[in-house]
Amino acid sequence: MMTKYRIVKRNNNEIYCYFAQKKVLWWWVDLPQCSYSGWKDRPPCETPSHSQELVESYIECMIFKNKDEVVVKVYE
């Protein structure tokens, strides 16, 4: 199953902020607040942000970064 991401825009006192979210089962969950000045060859990215481009870059970082992950063991 493919991981799905999205960007939502929220209005907080007339100031818009963009948030990256990940779909977990049937719910959309905000990704943890994070800011990167750049990761390897990736451009700067962050979530949440006032810039949609920085959040898009954050999601691309997450997808790129997670490709090399291997699940070793899962605890329930």
Its pTM stands at 0.70
Q: How many domains is the chain built from?
A: 1
More confident site: 36 or 17: 17
pLDDT in tens, 55-71: 988 888 777 665 555 55
Range of the domain at 56: 5-66
pLDDT at 1: 44
Q: Is residue 59 part of a domain?
A: yes
pLDDT at 38: 66
Q: Is residue 76 part of a domain?
A: no
Q: Is residue 33 part of a domain?
A: yes
Q: Is residue 75 part of a domain?
A: no
Q: Is residue 74 part of a domain?
A: no
Strand ranges of the sheet holding 27-30, from the earlier edge strand across to the other edge = 5-12, 15-24, 27-30
